Structure 1
């Protein structure tokens, strides 16, 4: 798809024969994505801290997915597999204790959200301070100066040195000393990023692309337009010093390059899915794939419609976040009736992965699918 886009930007619009070929290629790639997702049947969400992960977890609930707990304190982490959605809020799996060859588990439909690095780091810093002040006590300020670059670099090494690159390359790279992450690690992180089937971002300029990928890449009716967890209003520090902010910018130079790379991949996905859906007429093919003739992927629309109300059943332990249901007063029927509802959506319980559970324990060999990730092939 990158080659096709480059050709279009270089030579201009395609003729009729070329346009039909592009539509056929997009149709094939989208169909491969959809069938692979149905085969894998479980979503693994790689939750990079302060990048919309709590919102994504709640959206999974709204879209009919099942996990051990949707409580914000659990954030969809699970102890064993008996569900079709779970979140990894740690680092990428590095089973051989080396970052070389680290990759997402190919048995799952892998999803990741990227956020602009500087805003992500500042949010991360504020969250660290909040956790210590609220859950411990005010004596933090006697031991820690939030405007000391040296203290941040000493006590929060990953946060202050390309956190996302570190997270994507597993525990060994994540725990490397400050300043040791380099362009070789950036290349490795790009290779890992290529292997995610679904790439999302929080950038305002890509909100329309993100909306379409929610619908076409995951088959979810509800997306970040319908639900988000707003940052808590209270902040331990009003603002950081100029010295600290300069260090924040320096701390994410490789993350910034990775972020820009991920936005390009997201654009390629949105183009591929969009052409397949709008031009090649994928609805009929997807209906045939689902086996039920209604294009829903075999799911129950009632599961999805009930999700919006279910997501608002918050426990008393969720007082540290500010929940928001966007538009129509949180009424699921009204939300479904908006002009955008139903467009570019492949609806069903938990979207494409559908209704499936398994009782395989993490210690057991994975055996869901022999399909390797198609993401790299599709984009390039």
Structure 2
């Protein structure tokens, strides 16, 4: 750790101490100057620092209301908001890719649809190029085929641990950047960890965003989503026996069967989404405190955290003010379990899984703990973005005192993907860590079309 970062740590610590208002304000001023400089070379410190400042201000809000007026508090806090928002905007402008951690049944398909409607350049479908290895690992293929006499089901990748040739942030980002993509949807787990959870990480070269949802609601939605698709799949592939197989094998409270078929879904799927490829495949009911600790540490490093249960207004705030998107979850709700059930002629009351839910829902403790942290972090993100919006700041380079350099040919072009727009990459804001070009694989362009 360099001297400047150490000094920043001391000042950030002083902000949260129960000191005089004058010393508090001095610590905030000193922290803002240092945080802006350190953020240029370390995006994680930028994220942690801005949230810590906001949290400490929020904790002192009672005394600040009565004491800060004599220090011209309104102007002071307006300046704090401008600087913290500038740190966020600069961090986004340094990067060329948004890497969305798509935790299944937490609004991810709708989020990706909003990305497409906001003109983000992405592969077909929901932004999951097949060669990247980000597809969901839900079902154990062998178990499903044994239950159905050989029927193959989509999403049957559980047990296939490694992503493939594109594992690693440099290869991953290098390949999609060559193709001009701005958006990826990772519906598997965070990167690394083949040798242990200590190696799991986010790709710092990307803007990292995640959507969280209450564990119980996510699990119930996921189960019914699967049942609806299993019903349709069996009806189409086994016309005479498909419905009998569905009723006899899946519409029952056979807990051991479900544990062998979808272990990751049943056992704290949210936490598994943060702990890397190897730990994602931890045996059923093996997720515990050590996994939760890793997930919590990595969740802290995300640029933005959306709490799906906070409602459309909050999603709109984070997606517009945080990313500059002109379409948000407030306008898009795609492939919810209810929509899928209706489309596939499946009713929530069709399958008797009450005993299954009674068995597995109480065992989602790690997921509940992770959601509590995510909800708090999302509230801090909301506080900053609402604060910035209230004082008239817009999600544009000007919020970071930068100016976009637009070529004559692009002058009339619409903004693509909000703050990820190509024209905003010429603002004078230094780029994030360079990708090692020697490790970039040149893929067949046709492969970039991904899964439609």
TM-score scaled by structure 2?
0.62
1:219 aligns with 2:330: no
Conservation of the 8 A alpha-carbon contact between 1:301 and 1:349: no
Q: 3-state SS of the aligned residue for 1:217?
A: helix
1:5 aligns with 2:58: yes
Name the structure 1 match of 2:35: none
1:349 aligns with 2:416: yes
What is the 5 A alignment of 1:244-255?
244-255=356-367
Name the structure 1 match of 2:384: 272
Unaligned runs of 5+ residues in structure 1 are 304-347, 367-380
1:364 aligns with 2:409: no
CA spacing shift, 1:291–1:145, aligned 2, 3 Å:
closer
CA distance in 2, matches of 1:243, 1:154: 17
CA distance in 2, matches of 1:237, 1:277: 41
- Per-residue CA deviation, residues 319-346 of structure 1 (Å, 9 max, x unaligned), is xxxxxxxxxxxxxxxxxxxxxxxxxxxx
Unaligned runs of 5+ residues in structure 2 are 1-53, 132-174, 236-241, 426-434, 442-452
- Per-residue CA deviation, residues 63-94 of structure 1 (Å, 9 max, x unaligned), is 1101121x3xxx21124402111111111111
Conservation of the 8 A alpha-carbon contact between 1:198 and 1:218: no
Conservation of the 8 A alpha-carbon contact between 2:188 and 2:273: yes
1:94 aligns with 2:192: yes
1:76 aligns with 2:127: yes
Name the structure 2 match of 1:132: 230
1:158 aligns with 2:233: no
CA distance in 2, matches of 1:215, 1:49: 23
Conservation of the 8 A alpha-carbon contact between 1:24 and 1:280: no
Q: Which has the higher helix share?
A: 2
CA distance in 2, matches of 1:269, 1:135: 41
CA distance in 2, matches of 1:68, 1:281: 32
1:207 aligns with 2:312: yes
CA spacing shift, 1:143–1:215, aligned 2, 3 Å:
same
1:114 aligns with 2:225: no
1:22 aligns with 2:67: no
CA distance in 1, matches of 2:411, 2:96: 16
Aligned match for 2:90, one of 32, 35, 42? 35
Conservation of the 8 A alpha-carbon contact between 1:122 and 1:248: no
Q: 3-state SS of the aligned residue for 1:94?
A: coil
Higher relative contact order (CA 8 A, sep 6+): 1
CA distance in 2, matches of 1:115, 1:149: 24
Conservation of the 8 A alpha-carbon contact between 2:272 and 2:280: yes
C-alpha RMSD of the superposition: 3.0
CA spacing shift, 1:362–1:56, aligned 2, 3 Å:
farther
Larger radius of gyration: 2
CA distance in 2, matches of 1:49, 1:362: 32
TM-score scaled by structure 1?
0.73
CA spacing shift, 1:13–1:140, aligned 2, 3 Å:
farther
CA spacing shift, 1:363–1:263, aligned 2, 3 Å:
farther
Conservation of the 8 A alpha-carbon contact between 1:26 and 1:276: yes
1:286 aligns with 2:286: no
CA spacing shift, 1:26–1:102, aligned 2, 3 Å:
farther
CA distance in 1, matches of 2:436, 2:95: 16
CA distance in 2, matches of 1:40, 1:68: 18
The alignment covers a number of residue pairs equal to 311
CA distance in 2, matches of 1:301, 1:218: 21
1:196 aligns with 2:309: no
